[in-house]
C-alpha cells in the first residue's frame, strides 16, 4: 500500500502525464499485482509453504485498490488542495476574503480566515518552502481531524451500501463485474489453463508494450517518430453549426478496447451511439439558432447535460424498484423480523441498514456544524450517495466503465426548481468545499472498489465477513500514507509546479462558480426543468422498451452516461471493441469469443504495466513520459 500511494502520488502529480490511480481498476494495481505474482512464483520454488493462495492475493489486490483510489481523486488529491487553495488564490480582484471567509469555520481550514490572503501555510504549500524551513504539520492537524469525521462517515455509508446491494446485483441480477476479471485471472496463476501460460495473453501484452515503448523513446528523444493516440475532431469543424459540438476528441486506448471487449455488444452499441446522438443534438440545436450554453459540470451543452441528469434519477429509482424483494428482506432483518441468511455478507444486514441510516445522519450533523442548513445537507449528500454513487457503481458492475464521472452536481438539481442564489451564502460556502471533495469529480469513487472486492472474494471462495477488517485497515493506512506524502510533496516542490488539475482547477472551481450567487441574483434557467424532464421521460421509455421488446438493443445506461467524461474519453475504444466483438461473435461464435479473451486481457495488462514502467523510469532519472490515453 505504501508503494502504491507513493507511485500514484508521483505519477499523477509530478510526471503529470500518467494518471495512474483514478481509474476504477487502476493501472498501478494491475502492474503491482503482476510483480507480486512473479515474486510469488519465486517464493513457491523455495518452499510451497511460502506461496500465496488466490485468496491472499485477492486480499492484497483489494488493499492496493483502496490505496490507489484514496491516493488519487477518491480523496487526497481533492481534499488537501481544497483546504488551502481558496487562501492562496484570494486577491483584490475576486475579494474572496470578504465574500467567503466570514462563513468559513476556523476548524475547517489550516489557515486563519480572520487574517487575509496567502498565509504561510498556503503560500508554502503552493510555492514550496525555503531550504531548512519546516513543514507546518501542526497547522493541518485540527482541520484534517475534523474532516476525517466526515470522510469516515461517507466511507462507512459506502461500505453499508455495498453490503446491502451486493447480493442483489451479484446473485439476483447476475451482473458480470467486468473490472474484476483481469485481477482474478492473475490471482489464479498456476491453475490449469493459466492466464500467464496462454500465448494470446502475451501477444496482447506485446502490442501496448511496443506502442508505449516506441512513444516513450519519442518522449526521451523527439527525433524518434511517435505514434499519435489522440485526434481532436474540432479541427475539421470550424464553422457553425458543427463548431458548437461539445468536446469530441478521439483517444485510442488498447486497454480500453480490452476492457470493453468483455461487455455485451448491445451495451457497447448504446454507449458509443448515445454519445454520437448527444453531439448531433448540439449541432441540430445550433442549426436552429439556439445559442450554445455549456453545462457547468460536463463536457456538453445545458440541453444534453440536463437530459442525463434526468436519466440518473430514473435509473436510481429503477434500481431500487427491481431490488424491492431484496430490500424488503434487508429492512425486515434490520428490525429483527426477517430470516434472510447474512452470515457471509461483509456485515450483518441489520448493522448495514442502521449503519447507513446513522452515518447519513452523522453527515448531516457534520454539515450543520460547518454552517450548512440540514435540508441542504440532505440534498447535497442524498444526491451524492443515493443517486450519483449508485449510478456510478452500476456503470462499473454492469457496463464495465473503468472511469466513473458524472455530468451534473447537486447545485444543478437545485437550479431546476429555483434560482441557484436562493441557496444562501452559508450553504454555498460549505458546498464549495464538499462539491470539490465529493460531488464534482467522481473518478476513483471507493464504492465501486468495495463492490469489486466482494465479487473477487466470492470468485476465489474467500469469506466476505473477514473483508470488513481488511477494508478498514486499508482505508486507515492509505489515508495516513497518502496524506503524509501529499502534504510533504507540495511543500517540497511547490504545488504550482505540480499537476494543475487538483491544485489550480477542481479545488477552486466552486469558489469561482458560486461567487455570482454570493454577490447577487442569478437568473432562472428555463432549460433546466425542460431538458431534465425530457431526459427522465426518454430513460423511462428506454427501460420500458427493454422490458417489453426482447430484441430492443439500446440500454438506458448508455443514454445516462452519454456526455460523462468517461464516455468522452473512451467512446472510440468502445466503438472499436463493438466492431471487433460483433465480427468475432458473428463469424466465430461464443467459442471464438472465449478463445480470443486472453488476447484482449493482455492488452489491458500490457498498457497498464507500461504506465508503471515509465513512471518508475521518470522517477529515477527525472525524464519525460509518453502520453497515456486516459486523461
The DSSP secondary structure of 431-446, one letter per residue, reads HHHHIIIIIS--TT-H
pLDDT tens for each residue of 164-197? 999 999 999 999 999 999 999 999 876 656 788 8
Which residue from 581, 568, 566, 593 is spatially nearest to 25, judged by alpha carbons? 566
Four-residue CA torsion sign, 366, 368, 369, 371: positive
Q: What is the DSSP letter of 385?
A: I
DSSP run (H or E) holding 516: helix 506-519
C-alpha cell at 464: 466476505
d(CA 467, CA 352): 14
> What secondary structure does DSSP assign to 290-317, as a single string?
PPP-B-TTSSSBHHHHHHHHHHHHHHHH
What's the number of domains the chain is made of? 1
Task: Evaluate the omega torsion of the peptide bond into residue 567 and state whether it is cis, within 30 degrees of 0.
Answer: no
What pLDDT shows up at residue 493? 95
Average pLDDT over residues 455-469: 92
- Those residues whose C-beta lies under 8 Å from the C-beta of residue 267, and which sit 6 or more positions away, are 398, 399, 555, 557, 558
Question: What is the Cα–Cα distance from 529 to 423, expressed in whole angstroms?
Answer: 17
Q: What is the DSSP string of 528-591?
A: HHHHHHHHHHHHHHHHHHHHH-TT----HHHHHTTTSHHHHHHHHHHHHHHHHHHHHHHHHHHH
477 sits in the region (left: phi over 0; alpha: psi -120 to 50; else beta) called alpha
Lowest mean pLDDT among 64-68, 121-125, 484-488, 623-627: 623-627
> What radius of gyration, in Å, describes the C-alpha atoms of the chain?
24
Cβ atoms of 89 and 83 within 8 Å: the answer is no
pLDDT bucket at 289, cuts 50 / 70 / 90: confident
The yes-or-no verdict on residue 364 having pLDDT over 70 is: yes
Instruction: List, in sequence order, the alpha helices (H) in 10-91.
Output: 27-46, 54-71, 76-88
Residue 630 placed within a domain: no
Cα–Cα nearest to 449, from 427, 424, 478: 478
Is pTM beyond 0.75? Reply is: yes
pLDDT at 48: 84
309-320: pLDDT as tens digits: 999 999 999 999
Q: What is the mean pLDDT of residues 71-100?
A: 96
Q: Give residue 193's pLDDT.
A: 60
Residue 459 pLDDT greater than 80, yes or no = yes
| Closest of 83, 98, 202 to residue 136, by C-alpha | 83
- Segment holding 232, helix H or strand E: strand 230-232
Which residues constitute the domain of residue 35? 2-621
Distance in angstroms between the alpha carbons of the first and the last residue of the chain? 23
Q: What is the pLDDT of residues 52-66, one digit of tens each?
A: 999 999 999 999 999
> Count of CB atoms within 10 A of residue 460's CB?
17
432 part of a folded domain? yes
* Within a domain: 285: yes
How large is the average pLDDT for residues 330-344?
89
Residue 133 is given by DSSP the state: P
Instruction: Count Cβ atoms within 10 A of the Cβ of residue 580 and give its class: 0-12 exposed, 13-18 middle, 19 or more buried.
Output: middle
SS3 348: coil
* C-alpha cell of residue 251: 483517444
Mean pLDDT, residues 89-94? 95
Return the percentage of the chain with pLDDT > 70, whole number.
99
Three cell numbers written together for 532: 431534465
pLDDT score of 26: 95
Q: CA-to-CA distance for 425 and 423, rounded, in angstroms?
A: 7
Per the structure block, which three cell numbers stand in for 42?
519465486
Q: Which three cell numbers stand for residue 319?
A: 434500481
Decide: residue 317, CB within 10 A, 0-12 exposed, 13-18 middle, 19+ buried. middle
How far apart CA 379 and CA 391 sit, in angstroms, is 17
Q: What is the pLDDT of residue 383?
A: 97
- Give the pLDDT band (50/70/90) at residue 631: confident
Beta bridge partners of 629: none
Strand-pairing partners, residue 251, are 230
pLDDT at 546 over 70: yes
Q: What band does 290 get if pLDDT is binned at 50, 70 and 90?
A: confident
Q: Is residue 627 part of a domain?
A: no
Report yes or no on 139 lying in a domain: yes
pLDDT in the model for residue 192: 55
Closest CA to 296 of 394, 439, 401: 439
Extract the C-alpha cell encoding 459.
470468485
Q: Residue 526 pLDDT > 90, yes or no?
A: no
For residue 294, report the phi and psi dihedrals to the nearest 5 degrees.
-75, 140
Q: State the pLDDT at residue 47.
A: 86
Q: Are 4 and 74 in contact (CB under 8 A)?
A: no
DSSP category for residue 251: E
- For the chain, percent of residues with pLDDT exceeding 90: 86
DSSP codes joined into one string, 229-270 = -EEEGGGG--STTGGG----EEE--HHHHHHHTTS-HHHHHH
- Are 487 and 140 spatial neighbours (Cβ–Cβ below 8 Å)? yes
Rounded CA gap, 334 and 217, in Å?
59
Residues 26-64 as b or e (16 or more Cβ within 10 Å = b): bbbbbbbbbebbeebeeeeeeeeeeebebeebbbbbbbb
- Name the one residue in this structure whose C-alpha cell is 526521451: 220
Q: Report the pLDDT averaged over residues 594-601.
A: 95
pLDDT tens for 436-449 read 999 999 999 999 99
**Mean pLDDT (the chain, rounded):** 94
Nearest to 78 by CA among 514, 506, 509, 512: 506
pLDDT over threshold 90, residue 292 = no
What does the alpha-carbon distance between residue 182 and residue 604 come to, in Å, rounded to a whole number? Answer: 8
The reported pLDDT for the residue numbered 191 is: 63
pLDDT in the model for residue 339: 81
Domain-located, residue 629 = no
Answer whether residue 403 is part of any domain. yes
Amino acid at each position: 500500500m505504501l508503494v502504491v500511494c507513493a507511485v500514484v502520488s508521483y505519477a499523477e502529480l509530478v510526471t503529470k502525464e500518467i494518471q495512474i490511480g483514478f481509474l476504477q481498476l487502476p493501472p498501478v494495481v494491475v502492474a503491482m499485482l503482476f510483480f507480486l505474482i512473479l515474486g510469488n512464483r519465486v517464493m513457491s520454488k523455495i518452499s510451497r509453504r511460502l506461496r500465496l493462495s488466490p485468496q491472499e492475493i485477492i486480499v492484497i489486490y483489494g488493499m492496493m485498490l483502496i490505496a490507489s483510489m484514496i491516493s488519487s481523486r477518491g480523496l487526497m488529491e481533492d481534499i488537501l488542495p481544497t483546504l488551502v487553495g481558496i487562501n492562496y488564490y484570494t486577491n483584490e480582484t475576486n475579494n474572496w476574503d470578504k465574500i467567503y471567509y466570514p462563513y468559513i469555520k476556523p476548524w475547517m481550514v489550516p489557515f486563519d480566515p480572520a487574517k487575509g490572503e496567502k498565509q504561510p501555510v498556503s503560500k508554502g504549500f503552493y510555492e514550496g518552502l525555503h531550504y531548512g524551513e519546516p513543514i507546518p504539520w501542526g497547522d493541518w492537524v485540527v482541520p484534517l481531524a475534523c474532516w476525517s469525521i466526515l470522510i469516515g462517515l461517507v466511507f462507512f455509508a459506502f461500505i453499508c451500501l455495498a453490503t446491502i446491494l451486493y447480493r442483489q446485483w451479484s446473485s439476483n441480477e447476475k451482473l458480470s463485474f467486468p473490472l474484476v476479471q483481469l485481477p482474478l485471472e492473475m490471482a489464479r496463476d498456476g491453475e490449469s489453463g493459466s492466464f500467464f501460460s496462454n500465448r494470446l495473453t502475451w501477444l496482447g501484452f506485446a502490442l501496448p508494450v511496443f506502442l508505449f515503448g516506441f512513444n516513450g523513446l519519442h518522449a526521451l528523444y523527439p527525433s524518434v517518430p511517435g505514434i499519435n493516440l489522440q485526434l481532436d475532431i474540432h479541427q475539421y469543424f470550424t464553422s457553425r453549426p458543427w463548431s458548437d459540438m461539445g468536446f469530441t476528441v478521439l483517444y485510442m486506448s488498447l486497454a480500453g478496447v480490452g476492457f470493453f471487449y468483455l461487455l455485451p455488444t448491445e451495451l457497447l452499441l448504446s454507449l458509443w451511439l448515445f454519445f454520437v446522438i448527444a453531439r448531433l443534438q448540439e449541432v441540430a440545436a445550433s442549426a436552429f439558432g439556439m445559442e450554445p450554453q455549456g453545462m457547468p459540470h460536463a463536457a456538453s451543452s445545458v440541453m444534453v447535460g440536463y437530459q442525463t441528469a434526468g436519466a440518473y434519477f430514473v435509473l436510481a429509482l429503477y434500481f431500487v424498484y427491481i431490488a424491492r424483494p431484496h430490500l424488503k428482506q434487508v429492512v425486515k432483518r434490520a428490525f429483527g423480523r426477517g430470516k434472510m441468511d447474512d452470515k457471509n455478507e461483509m456485515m450483518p444486514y441489520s448493522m448495514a441498514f442502521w449503519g447507513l441510516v446513522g452515518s447519513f445522519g452523522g453527515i448531516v450533523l457534520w454539515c450543520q456544524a460547518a454552517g450548512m442548513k440540514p435540508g441542504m445537507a440532505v440534498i447535497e449528500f442524498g444526491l451524492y450517495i443515493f443517486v450519483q454513487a449508485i449510478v456510478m457503481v452500476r456503470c462499473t458492475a454492469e457496463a464495465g466503465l473503468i472511469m466513473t464521472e458524472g455530468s451534473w452536481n447537486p447545485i444543478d438539481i437545485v437550479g431546476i426548481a429555483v434560482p441557484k442564489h436562493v441557496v444562501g451564502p452559508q450553504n454555498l460556502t460549505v458546498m464549495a468545499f464538499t462539491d470539490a471533495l465529493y460531488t464534482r469529480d467522481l473518478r476513483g469513487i471507493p464504492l465501486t472498489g468495495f463492490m469489486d472486492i466482494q465479487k473477487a472474494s466470492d470468485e476465489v471462495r474467500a469469506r466476505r465477513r473477514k473483508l470488513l477488517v481488511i477494508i478498514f485497515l486499508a482505508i486507515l493506512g492509505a489515508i495516513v500514507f497518502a496524506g503524509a506524502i501529499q502534504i510533504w510533496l507540495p511543500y517540497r516542490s511547490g504545488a504550482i509546479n505540480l499537476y494543475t488539475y487538483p491544485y489550480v482547477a477542481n479545488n477552486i472551481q466552486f469558489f469561482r462558480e458560486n461567487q455570482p450567487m454570493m454577490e447577487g441574483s442569478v437568473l432562472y434557467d428555463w432549460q433546466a426543468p425542460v431538458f431534465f424532464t425530457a431526459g427522465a421521460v426518454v430513460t423511462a421509455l428506454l427501460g420500458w422498451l427493454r422490458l417489453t421488446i426482447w430484441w430492443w438493443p439500446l440500454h438506458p445506461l448508455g443514454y445516462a452516461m452519454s456526455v460523462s467524461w468517461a464516455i468522452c474519453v473512451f467512446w472510440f475504444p468502445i466503438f472499436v471493441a463493438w466492431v471487433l466483438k460483433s465480427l468475432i461473435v458473428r463469424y466465430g461464435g461464443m467459442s471464438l469469443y472465449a478463445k480470443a479473451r486472453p488476447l484482449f486481457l493482455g492488452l489491458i495488462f500490457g498498457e497498464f504495466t507500461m504506465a508503471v514502467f515509465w513512471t518508475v523510469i521518470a522517477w529515477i532519472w527525472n525524464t519525460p513520459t509518453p502520453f497515456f490515453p486516459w486523461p
